Chain A
């Protein structure tokens, strides 16, 4: 069956360190994968998208990698700050074309401790 798994429900790190979150999927061949941030009681906010033919994408302190052989994406936040504390969601599309919905992982709740 198709699955998206994010490695841990919760991750605590010290301010200034790099947070690394993992997203693994099985039985999908996504054309792209996205990462969203969700704060409690709020909607997901788009952060980064990476396509199947891209290995790495960066945006300010954020970096995403995508390994279609391992079926894994890693999401890094460098120089983490308490304001980065949130739940981070991995999402991929189910098909390659048309008006396709996103399939989400359950998320990893990141806490950055000052």
Chain B
């Protein structure tokens, strides 16, 4: 069964450094999302993406964040200058155009020191 994949599974970085989190959505999916989950808290929406542009973003998704679909398969989340409070699990999700269900990847655990 097709799956959303994410790399790396874990990333440790120093405050102020840039990180890029990578996702490969399911191949026939057209809508893409990033969510994050701070330890012990709920899953929170960051950004949605369709047709090579951002559809919607939350207030968490400030100027330090950006997303890109550099080719036909990858979907990336970049944090330009990481802060301690960016430490969280980051989940990528995707879905088809005609189904409501979003399929989530296994996540990248980001730790900012």
A residues contacting B by CB (< 8 A) are 31-32, 34, 36, 41-46, 49, 89, 91, 93, 98-107
Contact = CB atoms under 8 A, between A and B. Distances in A.
Given A43-B106, A93-B100, A99-B56, 14 more contacts: A36-B104, A41-B89, A41-B109, A42-B106, A43-B105, A44-B104, A99-B49, A101-B35, A101-B45, A102-B33, A104-B43, A104-B44, A106-B42, A107-B42
B104 A103 contact: no
A103 B56 contact: no
Contacts of B4: 43
Given A32-B100, A99-B50, A44 B43 contact: yes
Contact of B56 (A34, A101, A106): A101
B102 A102 contact: yes
A55 B8 CA distance: 41
B13 to A, nearest CB: 19
B37 to A, nearest CB: 9
Given A34-B101, A43-B91, A104 B42 contact: yes
